Structure 1
Amino acid sequence: MLLEHAEPGLYTTFRRLFVCFHPLLQGFLLGCIRFAGFDGTFLKHKVGGISLTEVGCDENNGMFPIAWAAVEGENYNSWMRFMELLFKLFDVGSGHGWTFISNQQKGLLNALSILALDAEHRNCSRHIYQN
């Protein structure tokens, strides 16, 4: 778990929280295919923010939770930091052999194009239909 603050000092402002439990990391590496889906959703409470999630696919085509984060907004910087931490944990490298699916969010697509240049990217059919 990693907690980041906007400004160090006596009174700090919460900025980001990253969570990836070790058993989930090991479970994904040992029993899942190299496929992951990314999405973000609003946190509806007085503080606000966005929840970013990464979900994998196990060998039975079931959803496998991997990691999540609470961030200040769904933007390039938030997605970039989230993916940097994930890709380092999973040793994604240039992304060769990986497939990612997302909802076409611009910040997410930009971060993916920089961090996983060789990965395949697919768009969620539900979001394509809605747009």
Structure 2
Amino acid sequence: MYICLAACKQGWLEGCRPFIGLDGCYIKGPHPGEILTVVAIDANNRMFPMAYEIVEVENNNTWKWFLELLSVDLKIENSKGYIFMTDKQNGLIDVVD
């Protein structure tokens, strides 16, 4: 499940810096999985949530799908000029390249 709220998308397009932070964490409980998140930095140098995705497993395919949908929502046609920050999550380095 991929979610990018319209207000977050508009905020990104109108005033965020060209920074994209990517991370994932485990969901525990009766419905385990992982949540993948993307944050930006706004004009006041504060974290700005942009989108998240809930997946069964974190791998190349789930990150690729997430970033493809995100690039369409945020109108990113060329990743040059953007700063991507990760903590080397599974499959993420290859997908960002």
| Fold conserved between structures, TM > 0.5 | yes
2:83 paired residue among 99, 102, 123: 99
| Alpha-carbon distance in structure 1 between the residues aligned to 2:76 and 2:12 | 13
Q: Which residue of 1 aligns with 2:96?
A: 112
Equivalent residues of 2:22, 2:86 under 8 A apart = yes
* Identity score, percent: 38
Equivalent residues of 2:22, 2:38 under 8 A apart = yes
Q: Which residue of 1 aligns with 2:41?
A: 57
Amino acid of the structure 2 residue aligned with 1:30: E
Q: Aligned pair 1:74/2:58, yes or no?
A: yes
Q: What per-residue deviation string (whole Å, max 9, x for no partner) do you get for residues 89-125 of structure 1?
A: 1122221211110001241111111xxxxxxxxxxxx
Gap regions ≥5 residues in structure 2: none
Q: Which residue of 2 aligns with 1:128?
A: none
| Alpha-carbon distance in structure 1 between the residues aligned to 2:61 and 2:73 | 19
Deviating more after overlay: 97-106 vs 36-45: 97-106
Amino acid of the structure 2 residue aligned with 1:53: T
**SS of the residue 1:33 aligns to:** coil
Instruction: Give the ranges of 4+ consecutive aligned residues of structure 1 lying more than 6 Å apart after TM superposition.
Output: none
Amino acid of the structure 2 residue aligned with 1:70: I
**SS of the residue 2:17 aligns to:** strand
Q: What per-residue deviation string (whole Å, max 9, x for no partner) do you get for residues 24-73 of structure 1?
A: 10011101111010000001111100000000001111000000010011
Q: Which residue of 2 aligns with 1:33?
A: 17
Amino acid of the structure 2 residue aligned with 1:64: F
Question: What is the alpha-carbon root mean square deviation over aligned residues?
Answer: 0.9
Deviating more after overlay: 92-101 vs 35-44: 92-101
Distance 1:106 1:48, change over 3 A: closer
Of structures 1 and 2, the larger Rg is shown by: 1
Greater length-normalized contact order (CA 8 Å, ≥ 6 residues apart)? 2
